[in-house]
Structure 1
Amino acid sequence: MYPDEPVSAKNGFNAGFRYRFLLLPPPIHEASTDPSHLMRKPPTLRNNNGVVQVRLNIDGKDTFINRIDRWEDPAAIARAHAISSRIWSDWCDGTFDQTLRSYQTTSDRQDKGLLNALKQLAETNRQGRTIHAYRTIQRYGRTIRDRSDVEEFVGWMQQQGLKNRTIVGILTECRRVLPKCRSLFTYKLKFDQTHIQSDILSKQDIEMVLSDLKQNEAWFYPLFLLWLNTGLRNGELRALSWDCIRWSEGELLIYKSLKVDGLSSHRFIPSTTKTERERVVPLNQQVLKVLQEHQEQMKEIDLFDPTGLVFLTPLSHGNVYDSILGMVWKRSLRRCGLKPRRLYAQRHTFVSHALAMGNSVADLAAIAGHSTQTMLKVYAKPTGRVQMPSWSPS
């Protein structure tokens, strides 16, 4: 190791020396013939405004390992030399970590690379699971460099009361934004699978719940009646407007939804359907009649707009949202003496009963906005409508 030329001020660095290791070049092998897979020279140290950095030139681009310590600290210089030596040794041995995560000096600081990647994805897709992963790692406040760090992170999440299913989801988001670290964020945890069958209401249960809603939750009765008779997705139900109802044909045109903004649980973003395709959903006469009565009621209280939303909240008259619908749903189930079910039970119940009634799988897939494979794999569940064959001897 020897000092190279002084670092020039014109490059934006403080006065100091850049150090280079006297190490042999890597052995020539097949991968080295590809310029995109070359590190042409050993890493160097540089003084970046009084802070030690390790500089690598990979694929013709400069990459840095930061947050080592002050340039005046001999121990920091020694640590930087050790990191540079390890990087070059790994490169020569063919075990170089291209993500550079394993070469970070400490795990006691926030993982800026992972946080920035999650933040960028969250600002793009606005999905709650990405936001939750970002906020969890931000709260953790440490860098995840290797398997032992992952184990500590998983243990910390468990101490925070997060369920294994949630932890697996957070690690999945980490793999999503750092595809080169897929093996690092792969961690096996056991958790109980949610069975859709537990969400399915029987025919008697449906009639009981709708009767209760009509009597005790009249404002929301048309919404739940439509939901249980069409199996619309939550966002599609929120975005349903009066101009989507084709009265003469007795059907709905579904082409839009209101997606929850992950950064704000009560802010919604206009969007297309999940499959980005429009579809037609038929309505029975009972649903059409209730919707017409609902329309007349909205006109009486001056809340009807020909292109406005069909279902509004009772006080603010804004779009409905899952938390208020969930409260109404749980109250009704409790009054009917039924076990709690997820809000998505309406969709599962509709599709499962429609299949049990003998409808074509392809037709139902078109109505629900699913593939036929998904319909059979996810929704073909027992409903209590089995008709057993019987034979009489001649």
Structure 2
Amino acid sequence: MQLRVRIQGKDAFINRLGRWNDPSDVARASALSAKIWADYCGGTFDTTLRSYQPSNEHADADLLEALKHLSEANRQGRTIHAYRTLRKYGKTLRNKSDVDEFVQWMLANGLQNRTVDGILCEFRRVCPENSKHLFKHKLKVNKGSSLSDVLSTEEITLVLEDLRVNEVWFYPLFFLWLSSGMRNAEIRGLTWDCIHWDSGEIIIHKTLRVDGLNTHRYFWSTTKTGKERVVPIGYSVIKVLQEHKSLMVSKGIYDYNGLVFVTPITHKNVYDSLLGKVWKRSLVRCGIKPRRLYAQRHSFLSHALAMGNSPADLAQMAGHSTQMLLKTYAKPTGRIRLPEWQRELGSIHDLVD
């Protein structure tokens, strides 16, 4: 048995109300119909019909369907994880009490506050009508230190030297990454034809994205913003890339239209878990505290800002708005230029001596 509700000229249904030949089920359906009418007259009608679902002992079909549709459209890991988590939970989230119970279930299953926050954010994303308040929470999410993703100039020098000696095949990749701030998918999808040697530029117009539904599969896509952009590279980067090209030529795997960075054995595209292992090994050897792989981009942009580059120019190069660049990447680097009148007083070592 189902209840049909007309909302803004469209039919919506509340299912699983019981059997037509069961008087008690019919009575509950009539009471639910009366409540819906009373809420409509009182101005508290829930247009999502979520609060009128008969039981939370069934999977939330509407929310699951919306998440599944979004995950198939964007192929993003966080959306897919939200969909799979709710499917595993197997209950309907009708009201705030149900959501609180779901949050406690996630925490009991070892999910961290930040992960729970991301899942509820995906719920709000696919159910924006009356669910923005339903899926709010009061969990404390630690943002971490502002220095957590930025390596100092000394650390960058140390780790690059270690990679040059101990990770010869991957050294050019990390050298370019720390010298350009490109995104992970842009590094993976970089092809030789996009490098303009004479002008010292790399044209970024495509990415090699991981398929969130199948993490061993990759597909070509546009940039995150859908726009082409130019990333300048210096002489040292050009020299390292040319040496890497010569190495690939000697191995017979160079292709003008092929990938710049491939795995050393199968010669297929590189992937984050592999690069993460290389990165972690190098940090351990250098005695540097662990940083996530995305520290390459954060370190480059933070240092480039600290050196006095125009935020607008850097934002264009990074594929961000100026506001987002300053909000996300303007982090302490240890680079501070003192005003001229302080420098004229002499060195601090002169005062000590």
- TM-score normalised by the shorter chain: which range applies? over 0.9
Question: Taking CA–CA contacts closer than 8 Å with sequence separation of 6 or more, which of the two structures ends up with the larger relative contact order?
Answer: 2
The answer for unaligned runs of 5 or more in structure 1 is 1-51
* More deviation, 317-326/190-199: 190-199
Structure 1: how far apart are the matches of 2:93 and 2:61?
10
Identity of aligned residues (%): 60
Structure 2: how far apart are the matches of 1:309 and 1:90?
60
Q: Hey, what does 2:230 align to over in structure 1? A: 280
* More deviation, 108-117/173-182: 173-182
Q: Hey, what does 1:38 align to over in structure 2? A: none
Residues 392 and 60 (structure 1), Cα distance of their counterparts in 2 relative to 1, 3 Å cut:
closer
TM-score (norm 2): 0.93
Secondary structure of 2:226's counterpart equals coil
Mapped contact 1:202–1:384 kept (Cα < 8 A):
yes
Structure 1: how far apart are the matches of 2:323 and 2:128?
28
Shift of 1:134: 0.3
Structure 2: how far apart are the matches of 1:158 and 1:375?
33
Secondary structure of 2:203's counterpart equals strand
Match of 2:165 among 215, 235, 240: 215
Mapped contact 1:196–1:378 kept (Cα < 8 A):
no
Match of 2:53 among 104, 119, 132: 104
* More deviation, 69-78/103-112: 69-78
The amino acid across from 2:247 in the alignment is Q
Determine whether 1:316 maps to 2:266: yes
The amino acid across from 1:254 in the alignment is I
Shift of 1:352: 1.4
Determine whether 1:383 maps to 2:336: no
Structure 2: how far apart are the matches of 1:366 and 1:94?
47
Shift of 1:317: 1.3
Secondary structure of 2:17's counterpart equals coil
Matches within 5 A, 1:131-280: 131-180=80-129, 181-280=131-230
Q: Hey, what does 1:94 align to over in structure 2? A: 43
Q: Hey, what does 2:313 align to over in structure 1? A: 363
Secondary structure of 1:281's counterpart equals strand
Structure 2: how far apart are the matches of 1:59 and 1:275?
35
Determine whether 1:293 maps to 2:243: yes
Shift of 1:103: 1.1
Shift of 1:270: 1.1
> Which string of whole-angstrom CA distances, capped at 9 and with x for unpartnered residues, describes residues 78-129 of structure 1?
2112111211222222222111111111100000000000001111111111
The amino acid across from 1:291 in the alignment is L
Secondary structure of 1:355's counterpart equals helix
The amino acid across from 2:77 in the alignment is G
Mapped contact 2:7–2:47 kept (Cα < 8 A):
no
Shift of 1:283: 1.4
Q: Hey, what does 1:343 align to over in structure 2? A: 293
Secondary structure of 1:224's counterpart equals helix
> Which string of whole-angstrom CA distances, capped at 9 and with x for unpartnered residues, describes residues 172-205 of structure 1?
1111111112111122211111344211111111
Structure 2: how far apart are the matches of 1:229 and 1:60?
56
Structure 2: how far apart are the matches of 1:60 and 1:270?
41
Secondary structure of 2:231's counterpart equals strand
Matches within 5 A, 1:322-333: 322-333=272-283
TM-score (norm 1): 0.84
Structure 1: how far apart are the matches of 2:242 and 2:333?
30
The amino acid across from 2:231 in the alignment is V
Secondary structure of 2:343's counterpart equals coil
The amino acid across from 1:86 in the alignment is K
The amino acid across from 2:12 in the alignment is T
**Root-mean-square deviation (CA), in Å?**
1.5
> Which string of whole-angstrom CA distances, capped at 9 and with x for unpartnered residues, describes residues 335-380 of structure 1?
1000000101111111111222222222222222222222322222
